[in-house]
Structure 1
Amino acid sequence: MSLQERTEATVRAVLDAAPPPAVPADLCAEAMRRGGRTLRRRQAARRVLWLLLCAAVVAFVVWATMARPWVEPPDTTTPPLTGW
């Protein structure tokens, strides 16, 4: 008898000896309720994250149009040379 056959025989004996566990009658309904609640929470979290992302993009665009970081600041270290 090989090790695999002994393992299979042991598992079969354990499964045959124990009665099947009792399953609650409302197990499916409870799982469906919890699954629906989890799904709604995930959808709400996804919507909030998209809303935050859109708000961040709008805030960045408004800041960029007001501050214009791509424009060089004017030189203020030396006065302009006029009248020479």
Structure 2
Amino acid sequence: MNLPEREAAVRRLLEQAPAPVVPPDLYGEAARRGRRMQHRGKAVRLLLWLALFGAAVVFVVWAVTARPWVEPPSETTPPLTGW
């Protein structure tokens, strides 16, 4: 089937099928749901950014208090021989 035949077949199908009945409040409901989904997405992104910021603050506070880059003091002392 070439392109003009396909187009003609699609046109025949579209002309034969009755137009679907769409509820009158469909647009308003879809717009309301879309706005709600956008608000939820914004809230989730805000919570994730706040969690990331909180984790960064906790890490900085831990690093300042624990100072993991400093070598820990020796647990044992070398033997004192040759005095």
Instruction: Classify the TM-score, shorter chain.
Output: 0.7 to 0.9
> Unaligned regions of 5+ residues in structure 1, if any?
none
Q: How many residues align structurally?
A: 81
Name the aligned partner's letter for residue 40 of structure 1: H
Provide Cα deviations, 1:5-53, integer angstroms capped at 9, x if missing partner.
2211111111111121111111110011101110111111011111111
**CA gap 1:60/1:13 in 2 versus in 1, 3 angstroms:** same
Structure 2 distance, partners of 1:41, 1:32, is 14
Structure 1 distance, partners of 2:79, 2:32, is 75
- Residue 10 of structure 1 corresponds to 9
Name the aligned partner's letter for residue 38 of structure 1: M
**Where do 1:18-57 residues align within 5 Å?**
18-57=17-56
**CA gap 1:80/1:70 in 2 versus in 1, 3 angstroms:** farther
Give the alignment's TM-score, normalised by structure 2. Answer: 0.85
**CA gap 1:71/1:42 in 2 versus in 1, 3 angstroms:** same
Structure 1 distance, partners of 2:5, 2:50, is 60
> Unaligned regions of 5+ residues in structure 2, if any?
none
Name the aligned partner's letter for residue 32 of structure 1: A
- Residue 71 of structure 1 corresponds to 70
Give the alignment's TM-score, normalised by structure 1. Answer: 0.84
Name the aligned partner's letter for residue 69 of structure 2: W
